[in-house]
Structure 1
Amino acid sequence: MIKRRTLRTRAIKLLVLDESDEMLSRGFKDQIYDVYRYLPPELQVVLISATLPNEILEITSKFMTDPVRILVKRDELTLEGIKQFFVAVEREEWKFDTLCDLYDTLTITQAVIFCNTKKKVDWLTEKMRSNNFTVSAMHGDMPQKERDAIMAEFRSGSTRVLITTDVWARGLDVQQVSLVINYDLPNNRELYIHRIGRSGRFGRKGVAINFVKSDDIKILRDIEQYYSTQIDEMPMNVADLI
């Protein structure tokens, strides 16, 4: 729109980049820089980010003059009270079979399943439904009206299993959620607590289950070290812990 001159930027006073770390992790760095080149030099820039990777700091140095950093205390994001387990799977396709085996456990309460891509969310949702499992799904490519309807159903308890991406990890705030499954381990270890912290909010107990392939072991150990926590192999009686 800017290049076609249907959007004129001379009067723009403020640029806000919300979830800026997520935008960068999804490859929008070049687009952000392109937009900024067309904006007035006296522009005020606000970056909102749950994490501070090097790319965020790089943007602050390029876009901002004497920036003020405001650090907000994490809102109840803790691993306390959350039992963390992993399930070893040799192949990617075995994750689906494992999830099907766990389905009855998922529906004891409400569960959130995280995938790393929107394409994987769509694929897993379709595959679950084709095998007669009831699930709902939500990601950033869906229209806002559809996302709102899905969230309303999930909050009310009408749907019990939600498949989603990291972009919604920070926005989900459903107190009934007691089980989180990482179908894919997060690409960024700092996102781990945003995913499974959902299940332990407001003092509630919860269970997190991580599907781990052999080449994911290093990522799992890195998460353990980063959060000073221990992730054990999932016991047979996991349903009793939820």
Structure 2
Amino acid sequence: MLSKHLENYLFECCVGTDRLVSYSIAIVERMKKEETRKKKTIVIGNGKMWFYTVGYLLKTFGGDEIKVCNLVEDQTYNQENIILGTPDKINELLESGNVNCTDINLLVVDQPDELSRFDLSMHAILRNVNCQIFWFSSKRNDFTNEIYLKSPIVIEPLQDEKSTNQNLGYIYSKHFYIDVEKESYKPETLPDLLDYISAQCAIYCNTYERAIEISRALEREHHTAHCLHNEMSDSEIEQKINDFRNAIVQNLIISNYKFPKLNFNPKITVNYDLPWQNDKYVKCCCLRSKYEPRSIHISFVRNEDKLKLKELERYYSLSIDECPMDIIEMI
């Protein structure tokens, strides 16, 4: 998606947040170039949760350098780099003259099949813009491809992706969640959980900075822990894993999901953060051979994570229940 050329792209994808992460990262990477930053990126979608999630991802990946305008919430446009909106809102903005079509260098259209009044506002937008288009759809429309996308490059999912879930060992785990309500409640919930279960635990989080915070919080409560992250050498990683295997430390904090299977046997794994991408959820469930008795897998869930939790249940066809009081008896 970082091509220098102006080919349009049609991404055939399923419903889920993985595509949101993918194009958010691509938009932010494009914005790092000065000539791109001077232009506008338009992202079209629909739904309150969509606007919240995409806005959050763009601000998280892009930091303070990238300015995002949500036309549904902000109502006004103030020279931001990235503009989020429904087809109606974007079309009104273009027709008002506040944004010139020649200033747009990328149009991202997310799930056009789900957008209302597509035949009116979207046709007007596509007719007027002259820029690269990223089109994310679960259905291929030959008419749209030829008229508006001009024979796009089609990115299809791998043939074996649909059956991948059937081959993973996560189905042998027990999956639970703890409703922490707010982010600020997580640091006090984790030590309480570890005190209660009294077992070795692998803890997953989304960033290295978060892993350091967790490590310090556990140390204050007299829990031993090591952190793993991508900046470490292979020897450092192996040493920390060996310390965990030999019970020198009680907890192993993993700050991303890029490691291969680590072949250690924690009885409990915890998602301190729900992963941004659906396929990352399973990484911390498959640390051991799938033929062995499986571990307990627990996710911390904030109020805003509950829809994501339901999405994970649908994606993996499993049930994630609230953590029971007698969980210690399952270990």
Q: Same fold (TM over 0.5)?
A: yes
Q: Residues 1-242 of structure 1: matches in 2 within 5 Å?
A: 77-108=168-199, 110-174=200-264, 176-198=265-287, 201-242=290-331
Partner SS, residue 93 of structure 1: helix
Using a 3 Å threshold, how does the CA distance of structure 1 residues 144 and 203 change in structure 2: closer, same or farther? closer
Using a 3 Å threshold, how does the CA distance of structure 1 residues 107 and 80 change in structure 2: closer, same or farther? same
Which structure has the larger Rg over C-alpha atoms? 2
Distance 1:103 1:187 in 2: 24
Distance 1:70 1:216 in 2: 30
Q: AA paired with 1:90? A: E
Unaligned ranges ≥5, structure 1: 1-23, 35-53, 56-60, 63-68
User: What is the CA distance between 1:212 and its match in structure 2?
Assistant: 0.2
User: What is the CA distance between 1:169 and its match in structure 2?
Assistant: 4.7
Using a 3 Å threshold, how does the CA distance of structure 1 residues 236 and 93 change in structure 2: closer, same or farther? same
Distance 2:253 2:238 in 1: 15
User: What is the CA distance between 1:25 and its match in structure 2?
Assistant: 9.3
Point out which structure has higher relative CO (alpha carbons under 8 A, 6+ apart): 1
Distance 2:188 2:309 in 1: 21
Using a 3 Å threshold, how does the CA distance of structure 1 residues 213 and 70 change in structure 2: closer, same or farther? closer
* Equivalent residues of 1:76, 1:201 under 8 A apart: no
Structure with greater proportional helix content: 2
User: What is the CA distance between 1:137 and its match in structure 2?
Assistant: 1.2
Most deviating of 218-227 and 146-155 = 146-155
Distance 2:302 2:259 in 1: 22
Q: TM-score, normalised by structure 1?
A: 0.66
User: What is the CA distance between 1:120 and its match in structure 2?
Assistant: 0.4
* Equivalent residues of 1:140, 1:167 under 8 A apart: no
* Equivalent residues of 1:83, 1:207 under 8 A apart: yes
Using a 3 Å threshold, how does the CA distance of structure 1 residues 202 and 236 change in structure 2: closer, same or farther? same
* Equivalent residues of 2:207, 2:255 under 8 A apart: yes
Most deviating of 143-152 and 205-214 = 143-152
Task: Say how many residue pairs are matched.
Answer: 186
Distance 1:27 1:207 in 2: 32
Q: AA paired with 2:325? A: M
Partner SS, residue 203 of structure 1: coil
Distance 1:154 1:171 in 2: 15
RMSD of aligned C-alpha atoms? 3.2
* Equivalent residues of 1:169, 1:195 under 8 A apart: no
* Equivalent residues of 2:202, 2:270 under 8 A apart: yes
Partner of 1:12: none
Deviations 1:55-104 (A, max 9, x none): 9xxxxx99xxxxxx896996963222211111111211211111111113
Using a 3 Å threshold, how does the CA distance of structure 1 residues 102 and 224 change in structure 2: closer, same or farther? same
Using a 3 Å threshold, how does the CA distance of structure 1 residues 183 and 151 change in structure 2: closer, same or farther? same
User: What is the CA distance between 1:145 and its match in structure 2?
Assistant: 2.9
Distance 1:98 1:220 in 2: 19
User: What is the CA distance between 1:27 and its match in structure 2?
Assistant: 5.2
Distance 2:216 2:253 in 1: 11
Q: AA paired with 1:104? A: D
Most deviating of 183-192 and 75-84 = 75-84
